[in-house]
Structure 1
Amino acid sequence: MLARLIAGVSLLAGEWLLVSLLFDTGDMNTGREWWAIVVRKGPVLVQIGVGAGLLLCAGLWWSLRPSFRERSRPNWNWLAAHLASFVVLLLALRFVLSAELRTAADPGRWVAGTGVLALVTAGLWFRAMIPAARMPDAWRGIGVAGLLAAPAGVLAWGAGRAARELWLALPDATLRFAEPLLRLTGGEVICRPNELVIGLETFSVTVSEDCSGYQGIGLIWLFLAVYLWVFREGLRFPQALLLIPLGTLAVYVMNVVRIVALVLLGAYVSPGLALEAFHAQAGWMAFDAVGIALVLLTQRTSFLSRNVPGAAVNEPGRDATVWYVAPFLVLVASAIGTAAFSNDPALWYPARISAAALTLLLFQQHYGELRTLWSWEAVGYGLIVGGLWLLLEPAETGSGRIDLPSAWSPIAVDAWWGFRLAGTIVVVPLVEELAFRGYLMRRMDSLYFERVSLQVVSWKGMIGSSVLFGLLHPGHWVAGTVAGLLFAAAVQRRGRLLDGVVAHGVANALVAGVAVATGRHGLLT
């Protein structure tokens, strides 16, 4: 039943995406007739409809929770009717959202008919996805949520407008907070609010919307949403919700500090280093610092956490979290650090891999799960993942080459490539599988993740950890998510974490082999 609903929601999302890509209301920017206003305000109505639809889906989800474990399939006849209705809806939208609508005999009837057709299409989807036996439960859930759906949709739209105004005001606020901090350095400060320019006499920057801090705020909201959900068993609510405004304020303050540091680095050290390396990575460093600080604050404050400091030192899973996650954190921190303070961070790859490898060696006595026999099935999973990755990778993306300094000796070049391949095929699979399949996949099921057998992990853990694994690979999130799901399947097959490591290593070896053989070194990044 749950898989049926997930497939149905995915179908709706795909249909909505198709409509948004195919049509716009640009041709209907004039006219005072009611139908012209409805068409022109289409995007607003869609935003309100999405907010209302989310609340309806929440009511539907809640009412059908007891039946999630039931086996069921979509009603194929009703599904076919829904798809046919959707095709007709596309044809109607093609006419309604064009200038030809004004030449129709009765434009209002066309607009009203298209609206009715959209409701019919949604109703057919509902009938196809909800079993007849569960229809009363579904209607009850929708009935309760339906009373609040329209107001919730309007509130969501209003909140979006308010948020947009806030984002537009952020650059000016960032500029005004950064100016007094720069004056503390004693230099001659340049501040032109109308142009959003801030800096010193020898170096200045423009604080655009992208530098205003809204991206960091959005990321910390996403991080905290995942953190609050995954660790909900050990947190105190509603106190834990205070992390959201606290994290928002902390990220914004860190962004102001980032702007100040950028100006100082450009004025007193190197403009190139400031604009190329530091500017690209300082935001991630600030985000990571805030995220880690919030987690540490939560785990050490009884007001926010049920695990009072010092009361559960020997609880299962408490120390194991460090063993499974520390190598990954070291690898990420070293990558961000070298990228922030070097114009060519690739040269520092051996140092990053060595730091992660040393962390693995430090905790190697705790990795008993890896001391098992590997399987040929894991190799098969790895070949599938590697093949899919290469198929999904655009040819131009991986076309770049890694150019090492010409002054390096052949031994130094060979040593660098040795670290590069060893890191890609051995160290990275170990680090990422310990963090995502060993820890996160099971942590989504239980606070004491070590007690969860890898053979019985839930769909929630598999999907959640795979999506986050995909987000770890910017520009490749689809391929990364699919890869995460297949690695999770390899682990669950025999309940052995080593199978995930082997599959991951084989996949990386295949991609690395193609990269070296063809000169498409971009595949390694």
Structure 2
Amino acid sequence: MQTPGWAGIMTAGHGHGAATGATQGRAVIARRGAATLALVAAVLLAEALAVLAVYPGTPVFDWRAQVPAAVAVLVGSADVHGFLMAVAVCIVFAARPTARAALLGGLRPAPAASWIGLTVAGAGVLLAPGLLVPADADRAVVLAAILCWLLGGAAIVVGAVFAAAPPQAWRSMARAAGPGLWIVLGLAAVAPSVAYGVQTAWRWTPLATLTFNATAALLNLIGQPVWTAPERFEIAVGDFHIAVGEYCSGIEGIGLITTFTLCYFVLFRDRLRFPHALALIPIAMAASWLLNVLRIAALTLIGAHVSPQLAQDGFHSNAGWLFFTALALALMALADAAPIFRRPDASPGRAAPPLSQDVVAAQLLPFVVFMLSAMIVAAASTTPDLLYPARIAATVAALWFFRRLYLRLDWRIDRVALAAGAAVGVVWVATSPTDAAPLSAAVAGLTGWAFALWAATRVLGTALVVPLVEELAFRGYAMPRLDFGGVVGRAVAVTASAGMFALLHDRWIEGFAAGVVFGLLALRRGGVVPAIQAHAAANALIAAWAVATGEWGAI
């Protein structure tokens, strides 16, 4: 049995309806659409393999130099735009049973040959520049190649869409989905461009100048012999030099803490007092900038008086995340403790449960321990990989503390979740970069039982501990609280939780796609367990591949 409250909070919020819709959808596919979908997918897979073979990296001709920068960005990210829009359609398709039934009911008994021909022709047009255009092509030829890419890609998409179902079936699906479909499609279409704009915004010289001057003043204030070169944004104490560039201005931290604060507003909107709580935003921004100045000053002191290697390889890369986490926790504590920010009726009238029975704590604290331990060992050690077993031990201790709550979940095996997770793992391995980071020298130097213990901890942590911790946080805690109801609310919840999940990974696109899959599985069954099982299956497959090939950097 599940305790009262645990089932509701640990689920994705729409179990019965989603499961019923999924059952109906599977029945429709079994009756009339499985062969059509399989054949269209096979054609697309063959075309994708051909594209990878012809374009294994960048084209041999320098097309970016021949077009305006904005055009280069749009063309270069066209595949990302298309991928995100396809994911958006899948989210709406999964979250709205009526839309799903409308489309599945209209699938063709067999793919339309004319539309399959269009997608094959589109692939040929897309591949032609890679096969025919020389490295020294002039501007006219390059522009023609770009046009081929755009027209070929459009033909592939249109051909595949209408090969699977006629236009009237797609119109029925769009009507059933309502405005949520267009909202989600629009967000997916503009997301890469917005991300590019945000990336360029990090380079803000006035803020970098202010940060540089404040850091130098702080070091002078504590009596350090500071040498500065303002024209190059350089600061030195003793023999240790740093450059406070535009990317060190603090605007990235300001953006992150502002985003966190806005997410906090959404998640805890029923407990906060508006508009008073909006004052937390300028407080967060100012505190983030001050902590960035403190971080740079501390980095300089560590490099000058303790260890330049620790300053550069450990503290520099991870202190920012430590300070961000500390500030985020402080903001949450302030919002909860200060009456001006909290609604008068936000405090419960009954006593809080013991910590070991607190559902929210069980969802979040293991994740907090896992992330904080990563930041601490990375900031305090030049060999953080060597301390991975200590991180897993701390995280397992946190999980053990809440074991009674976890045991009340429904842990029956979900074969669909395991299959979906295995598919995620296969895609992750297949798209793994060839230049993945190797093991640190300290870990590579381990031998015998020492390396066996480290390797076993790494594999078990990756396959069992990490999926449980991350899914409890993202699909167990965050996703239900981001769900406003309806197709738009479900789509936002799945997308936003997948986006947060992607930020934990170097490979954002693959991480986002995996997060969407895990979110849809949680939505399908109305609980977090299927997402945990899928994540564990994916990670177990990736870990097995890492062991077999020695690519430990993949996990």
Q: TM-score, normalised by structure 1?
A: 0.67
Check the 8 A contact 1:321/1:439 in 2, yes or no: yes
1:26–1:461: structure 2 CA closer, same or farther, 3 Å change rule? closer
Aligned partner (choices 504, 523, 544) of residue 472 of structure 1: 504
- Contact persistence 2:272–2:346 (CA under 8 A): no
* 1:507 pairs with 2:538: yes
Contact 2:276 2:340 in 1 (8 A): yes
Q: For residue 59 of structure 1, what is the aligned residue in structure 2?
A: none
What SS does structure 2 have at the residue aligned with 1:234?
Answer: coil
- 1:209 maps to 2:246: yes
* Native 8 Å contact 2:202 2:252 kept in 1: no
Q: Could you tell me which amino acid in structure 2 is paired with residue 473 of structure 1?
A: H
The equivalent residue for 1:14 is none
Distance 2:300 2:247 in 1: 16
| Percent identity between the two aligned chains | 35
Q: Is the 8 A contact 2:335 2:341 kept in 1?
A: yes
Q: Distance in 2 between matches of 1:418 and 1:301?
A: 46
Aligned residues between the structures: 437
Of 397, 402, 408, the residue aligned with 2:436 is 397
Residue pair 1:197, 1:206 contacting (<8 A) in 2 also? yes
- In the TM superposition, residue 192 of structure 1 has moved relative to its aligned partner by 2.3
3-state DSSP of counterpart to 2:381: coil
User: 1:348 pairs with 374, 383, 387, which one?
Assistant: 387
Contact 1:236 1:306 in 2 (8 A): yes
Whole-angstrom distance in 2 between the partners of 1:471 and 1:291 = 16
- Mapping 1:361-510, distance limit 5 Å: 361-397=400-436, 404=443, 406=445, 408=446, 410-445=448-483, 458-474=490-506, 476-510=507-541
Cα displacement (A) at 1:258: 0.4
Q: Distance in 2 between matches of 1:515 and 1:230?
A: 37
1:431 counterpart letter in structure 2: V
Q: Distance in 1 between matches of 2:202 and 2:372?
A: 34
Quick check: 1:379–1:506 contact (8 Å CA) kept in 2? yes
In 1, are the aligned partners of 2:522 and 2:530 still within 8 Å (CA)? Answer: yes
Residue 186 to residue 426, structure 1, CA distance change in 2 (3 Å): same
Q: What is the CA-CA distance between 1:70 and the residue it aligns to?
A: 6.8
**Separation in 2 of the partners of 1:226 and 1:309?**
18
Aligned partner (choices 182, 191, 214) of residue 177 of structure 1: 214
Classify 1:200/1:369 alpha carbon distance in 2 versus 1 (closer, same or farther; 3 Å).
Answer: same
Alpha-carbon offset, residue 42 of structure 1: 7.8
Tell me which amino acid in the other structure corresponds to 2:360: T
Q: Is the Cα contact below 8 Å between 1:299 and 1:309 reproduced in 2?
A: no
Q: For the residues of structure 1 that align with 2:441 and 2:405, how far apart are their CA atoms?
A: 36
Aligned residue number for residue 327 of structure 1:
366
Cα 1:332–1:258, aligned 2, differ >3 Å: closer, same or farther?
Answer: same
Instruction: For residue 397 of structure 1, report the CA deviation from its aligned partner.
Output: 2.5
Pair 131,510 (structure 1): closer, same or farther in 2 beyond 3 Å = closer
2:452 corresponds to which letter in structure 1? D
How far off its partner does 1:311 sit?
4.0
3-state DSSP of counterpart to 2:204? helix
User: Could you tell me which amino acid in structure 2 is paired with residue 301 of structure 1?
Assistant: A
Superposed displacement of residue 390, structure 1? 1.0
What is the letter of the counterpart of residue 503 of structure 1?
A
CA distance in 1, matches of 2:64, 2:434: 35
Deviation at 1:312, TM superposition (A): 4.5
Aligned 1:106-125 pairs, distance under 5 A: none
Q: Secondary structure at the match of 2:546?
A: helix
Cα deviation, 1:458-485, whole Å, max 9, x if unaligned, reads: 33322221221122212x1221122222
Deviates more, 1:414-423 or 1:297-306: 297-306
Select between 257-266 and 491-500 the one with higher mean Cα deviation.
Answer: 491-500
Alpha-carbon separation, structure 2, partners of 1:355 and 1:25: 48
Residue 262 (structure 1) aligned with residue 293 (structure 2): no
Give the aligned residue type for 1:288: T
Question: Per the alignment, in what secondary structure is the counterpart of residue 370 of structure 1?
Answer: coil
1:194 aligned partner: 231
Distance 1:359 1:375 in 2: 26
Tell me whether 1:518 sits opposite 2:549 in the alignment: yes
Q: Which SS does the other structure have where 2:270 is aligned?
A: helix
Deviation, 1:409, is 5.5
Mapped partners of 2:139, 2:390: distance in 1: 61
Equivalent pair of 2:226/2:237 in contact (CA under 8 Å): yes
Deviation at 1:369, TM superposition (A): 4.4
Measured in 2, the distance between the counterparts of 1:277 and 1:41 equals: 36
Shift of 1:403: 5.6
Cα shift at 1:285: 1.2
If the length of structure 2 is used for normalisation, what is the TM-score?
0.64
Q: Which amino acid aligns with 1:326?
A: L
Return the letter of the residue paired with 2:521. A
Tell me if the contact between 1:369 and 1:497 (Cα under 8 Å) persists in the aligned partners: no
- Alpha-carbon distance in structure 2 between the residues aligned to 1:275 and 1:286: 17
Q: Which has the higher contact order (CA 8 A, sep 6+)?
A: 2
Alignment partner of 2:289: what SS? Answer: helix
How far apart are residue 511 of structure 1 and its match?
0.6
Deviation at 1:372, TM superposition (A): 3.1
Matches within 5 A, 1:120-269: 167-269=204-306
Work out whether residues 301 and 309 of structure 1, in 8 Å CA contact, stay in contact via their aligned partners in 2.
Answer: no
Change (3 A) 1:27 1:519: closer
CA distance in 1, matches of 2:300, 2:437: 34
Indicate if the aligned counterparts of 1:425 and 1:509 stay in contact, CA closer than 8 A. yes
Per-residue deviation, residues 14-71 of structure 1 (Å, max 9, x unmatched): xxxxxxx99999779xxxxxxxxxxx8988xx9xxxxxxxxxxxxxxxxxxxx99878
- The separation in 1 between residues aligned to 2:350 and 2:243, in whole angstroms, is 49
SS of 2:443 mapped into structure 1 = coil
- Once structures 1 and 2 are overlaid, which stretch shifts more, 413-422 or 334-343? 413-422
Contact 1:179–1:198 under 8 Å retained in 2: yes
Provide the alpha-carbon RMSD of the alignment: 5.3
Per the alignment, do residues 442 and 23 of structure 1 end up closer, same or farther by CA in structure 2, a change over 3 Å counting? Answer: farther
Structure 1 range deviating more: 324-333 or 183-192: 183-192
Distance 1:413 1:444, change over 3 A: same
Structure 1 residues 44-83: aligned runs within 5 Å = none
Q: Are the structure 2 counterparts of residues 211 and 371 from structure 1 closer, same or farther at C-alpha, using a change threshold of 3 Å?
A: same
Contact 1:197 1:207 (8 Å CA) reproduced: yes
Change (3 A) 1:518 1:295: same
Inter-CA distance 42–357: structure 2 relative to 1 (3 Å threshold): closer
Q: Which amino acid aligns with 1:422?
A: L
**How far did residue 190 of structure 1 move?**
1.3
State the alpha-carbon separation in 1 of the partners of residues 139 and 466 from structure 2: 55
For residues 520 and 27 of structure 1, what CA distance do their matches in structure 2 show?
39
Aligned partner letter, 1:414: A
Superposed displacement of residue 165, structure 1: 10
Shift of 1:357: 0.6
Contact 2:288 2:327 in 1 (8 A): yes
In 2, the alpha carbon distance for the partners of 1:371 and 1:254 equals 44
Correspondence for 1:280: 317
- What are structure 2's unaligned runs of at least 5 residues? 1-58, 75-95, 107-137, 141-166, 183-193
What runs of 5+ residues in structure 1 fail to find an aligned partner? 1-20, 29-39, 47-66, 75-97, 101-127, 143-156, 448-456
Provide the residue aligned with 1:120 in structure 2: none
